[in-house]
Amino acid sequence: MESHSQPSAPASAGLDLPLCADLRSKKYYFLERPARVPADLLDASNDCWCARTQMRMGPDDMVVDPVDCVSGRACYRREGADRPAL
């Protein structure tokens, strides 16, 4: 009897998570998994930044925030996807 298993997706396919993989905060560095919801990243300061620009503005010159750094934004990158050049 043959086993017909589906091939696994390549690592570069990434994970479809709602938050951009480049979104950072102090809490980010204590996570044991990718951030999935804003509460995973935001603490009382609500301070976050973009890992690509190292600022509170993204590569598209818009404010970095878990509500806005989601799929559909021009600079959005899903977890596991290659990081584009700046």
Q: Model pTM? A: 0.73
Angle at 23 between CA 17 and CA 25, to 5 degrees: 125
> 36 is in which domain, residue-wise?
17-73
- For residue 83, pLDDT over 90 is answered with no
Q: What is the pLDDT of residue 18?
A: 86
Mean pLDDT of the region 8-22? 61
- Please indicate, yes or no, if residue 28 is contained in any of the structural domains: yes
- For residue 84, pLDDT over 70 is answered with no
- Please indicate, yes or no, if residue 35 is contained in any of the structural domains: yes
- Please indicate, yes or no, if residue 84 is contained in any of the structural domains: no
- Please indicate, yes or no, if residue 34 is contained in any of the structural domains: yes
Mean pLDDT of the region 17-28? 92
- Please indicate, yes or no, if residue 63 is contained in any of the structural domains: yes
Mention every residue, 6+ apart, whose C-beta is less than 8 A from residue 38: 19, 66, 67
Question: What is the distance between the alpha carbons of residues 22 and 78, in angstroms, rounded to a whole number?
Answer: 8
- Please indicate, yes or no, if residue 12 is contained in any of the structural domains: no
**Count of domains for the chain:** 1
- Please indicate, yes or no, if residue 81 is contained in any of the structural domains: no
Question: What is the distance between the alpha carbons of residues 55 and 11, in angstroms, rounded to a whole number?
Answer: 28
Reported as a single tens digit per residue, the pLDDT across 44-80 is 999 999 999 999 999 999 999 999 999 999 999 988 7
